[in-house]
């Protein structure tokens, strides 16, 4: 290469570098401002947390009285439109959002789309805590179970009137409120978990997550066993139903037997039921439940207790026979009380001593815990020279701030229940989800086990 060409090359190189330097320093207000209309969009915020295991992480945890306020940074900013969705509903457009959101756990999706139709998105959770004094619906498992097509009545506090109920996005019908109870018809909808909100005293309030199911609620402290199921129009000897001795073999004495039926229109307006055995006759000793008339006032299902005498006659005579006239038998179920299901989320042996030793229950271990569950903390007191024992249940962010505490610090004494119990509320769940778990701290005791029921 000639000296002239080399000089020309060097000159062009420095001109290019100068232009690059000028471009790089010409603006600090527009990141990647050189991106053009044909470039793919990017959301540049570094404070949007990454989710784990396919679940979005929490962007914010705020109280209902605080607006959801946030700003996104995108490129190419001049050619990009930002759309905001909360729970799959578009709520705003633009780089900023500033709006009230009802209490509950919400999925926020931020979508950036260019004029050429290229798009990207980020998804995160927004946790909105109820404000003090907000309306509250009962949190026990049965209250928060909605059977499709049924009429539901739930205790509702901190209100004088409820005019509307929403299950997810669907509005319930036949809403009424009286004596601290709200009643409504559950909409026909797909099974799943939905946030329920109410319109009360002129405002809308989120009331947490409910389960919508086609099935009736089954108490976790109750075991139900179907002994017989079908559709038999009972007509004395012409048609009846037998529950076999094998089906009844494991049914313990004291169990409740439920007999489900439907009345059939009969010309004689006569309906009756008798529960006996395959040896059936008119002798009293052959009958498990003596014959009685079925009317519109008879409970359905009809229930009776499976006694020692019932078991003896069933074992001797080969089962149970349901006879009578004028009804269709649909199901026979045995219902027995059992210990509620209890899940262990932490187990060990830690002598708790403030920051020197404590115990963490991870967010993953608590991920499937339902709001309204009872948390049991099992412990042993340790002999301490000072005679001082205390427990605090907080989060891995623990400190002395009240908002960091799940259960405020209290002294452990001989009168403190063991296990110590507390309810896993919406507020507790919000703290656990945001701050990565639950931390049990304090002084002067040995932590043994933590279970959820």
Please, which residues have CB within 8 angstroms of residue 364's CB and are 6 or more apart in sequence? none
Q: Give the model's pLDDT for residue 173.
A: 96
Residue boundaries of the structural domains of the chain: 1-26, 42-128, 136-213, 222-337, 343-452
Question: Rounded CA gap, 228 and 244, in Å?
Answer: 9
Please, which residues have CB within 8 angstroms of residue 225's CB and are 6 or more apart in sequence? 250, 251, 333, 334, 335, 336
**Residue 34: pLDDT band by 50, 70, 90 thresholds?**
low
Q: Which fold has domain 136-213?
A: Immunoglobulin-like (2.60.40)
Please, which residues have CB within 8 angstroms of residue 152's CB and are 6 or more apart in sequence? 146, 183, 184, 185, 186
Q: Give the model's pLDDT for residue 18.
A: 41
Domain 222-337 has CATH 3.30.70: no
**More confident: 391 or 28:** 391
For residue range 415-431, list pLDDT tens digits in order: 889 999 999 888 889 88
Domain 136-213 matches domain 222-337 at the CATH topology level: no
Could you tell me if 110 and 73 are in contact, meaning their C-beta atoms sit under 8 angstroms apart? no
For residue range 54-77, list pLDDT tens digits in order: 778 889 999 999 999 999 999 999
Torsions phi, psi for 22 (to 5 deg): -65, -45
Average pLDDT over every residue of 80-92: 95
Question: Rounded CA gap, 27 and 48, in Å?
Answer: 25
Average pLDDT over every residue of 250-255: 90
In the chain, what percentage of residues exceed pLDDT 90? 55
**Residue 344: pLDDT band by 50, 70, 90 thresholds?**
confident
Q: Give the model's pLDDT for residue 98.
A: 96
**Residue 100: pLDDT band by 50, 70, 90 thresholds?**
very high
Average pLDDT over every residue of 26-41: 65
**Residue 450: pLDDT band by 50, 70, 90 thresholds?**
very high
Q: Give the model's pLDDT for residue 6.
A: 39
**More confident: 6 or 436:** 436
Q: Give the model's pLDDT for residue 53.
A: 67
Q: Please state which of the ranges 10-19, 139-148, 319-328 shows the lowest mean pLDDT.
A: 10-19
Average pLDDT over every residue of 126-138: 89
Q: What is the DSSP letter of 77?
A: G
**Residue 177: pLDDT band by 50, 70, 90 thresholds?**
very high
Could you tell me if 257 and 306 are in contact, meaning their C-beta atoms sit under 8 angstroms apart? yes
Q: Residue 225, Cα to own-chain centre: how many angstroms? A: 25
Each as own residue / partner, the long-range contacts of residues 79-83 (CB below 8 Å, 24 or more positions apart, any chain) are: 79/36, 79/37, 79/114, 79/115, 79/116, 80/41, 80/112, 80/113, 80/114, 80/115, 81/112, 81/113, 81/114, 81/115, 82/110, 82/111, 82/112, 83/110, 83/111, 83/113
**More confident: 342 or 382:** 382
For residue range 191-203, list pLDDT tens digits in order: 998 999 999 988 9
pTM of structure = 0.51
CATH superfamily of 42-128: Immunoglobulins (2.60.40.10)
Give me 242's structure tokens. Answer: 């037998």
Query: Taking the CB of residue 433, how many other CB atoms lie within 10 A of it?
Result: 19
CA dihedral 407, 410, 413, 418 (to 10 degrees): 0
Does the structure show a pLDDT above 60 at 386? yes
- Mean pLDDT of the chain, nearest integer: 86
For residue range 393-411, list pLDDT tens digits in order: 998 888 767 777 899 899 9
Three-class SS state of 12: helix
CA dihedral 365, 371, 373, 375 (to 10 degrees): 50
Q: Give the model's pLDDT for residue 399.
A: 73
Question: Rounded CA gap, 305 and 318, in Å?
Answer: 19
Three-class SS state of 243: strand
């Amino acid at each position: 290469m000639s000296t002239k060409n080399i000089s020309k090359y060097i000159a062009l190189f420095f001109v290019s570098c100068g232009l690059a330097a000028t471009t790089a320093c010409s603006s600090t207000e527009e990141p990647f401002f050189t991106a053009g209309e044909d470039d793919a969009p990017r959301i540049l915020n570094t404070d949007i947390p990454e989710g784990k295991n396919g679940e979005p992480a929490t962007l914010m945890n705020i109280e209902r009285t605080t607006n959801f306020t946030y700003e996104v940074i995108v490129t190419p900013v001049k050619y990009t439109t930002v759309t905001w969705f909360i729970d799959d509903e578009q709520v705003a457009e633009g780089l900023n959002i500033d709006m009230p959101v009802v209490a509950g756990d919400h999925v926020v999706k931020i979508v950036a789309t260019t004029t050429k139709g290229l798009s990207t998105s980020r998804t995160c959770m927004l946790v909105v805590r109820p404000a003090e004094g907000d309306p509250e619906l009962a949190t026990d498992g049965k209250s928060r179970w909605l059977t499709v097509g049924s009429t539901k009545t739930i205790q509702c506090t901190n209100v004088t009137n409820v005019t509307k109920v929403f299950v997810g996005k669907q509005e319930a019908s036949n809403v009424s409120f009286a004596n601290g109870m709200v009643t409504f018809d559950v909409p026909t909808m797909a099974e799943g978990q939905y946030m329920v909100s109410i319109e009360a005293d002129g405002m809308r309030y989120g009331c947490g997550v409910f389960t919508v199911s086609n099935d009736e609620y089954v108490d976790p402290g109750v075991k139900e066993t179907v002994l017989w199921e079908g559709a038999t129009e009972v007509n004395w000897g012409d048609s009846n139903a037998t529950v076999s001795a094998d089906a009844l073999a494991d049914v313990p004495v004291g169990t409740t037997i439920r007999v489900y039926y439907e009345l059939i229109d009969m010309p004689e307006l006569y309906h009756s039921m008798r529960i006996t055995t395959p040896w059936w006759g008119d002798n009293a000793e052959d009958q498990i439940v003596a014959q009685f008339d079925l009317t519109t006032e008879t409970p359905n299902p009809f229930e009776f207790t499976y006694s020692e005498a019932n078991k003896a006659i069933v074992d001797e005579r080969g089962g149970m026979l349901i006879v009578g006239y004028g009804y269709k038998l649909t199901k026979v179920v045995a219902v027995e009380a059992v210990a509620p299901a209890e899940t262990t989320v932490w187990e060990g042996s830690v002598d708790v001593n403030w920051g020197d030793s404590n115990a963490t229950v991870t967010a993953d271990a608590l991920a499937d815990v339902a709001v309204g569950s009872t948390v049991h903390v099992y412990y042993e007191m340790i002999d301490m020279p000072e005679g001082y024992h205390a427990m605090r249940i907080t989060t891995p962010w623990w400190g002395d701030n009240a908002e960091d505490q799940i259960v405020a610090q209290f002294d452990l004494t001989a009168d403190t229940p063991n296990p110590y119990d507390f309810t896993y509320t919406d507020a507790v769940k919000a703290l656990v989800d945001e701050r990565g778990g639950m931390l049990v701290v304090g002084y002067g005791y040995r932590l043994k086990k933590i279970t959820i029921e």
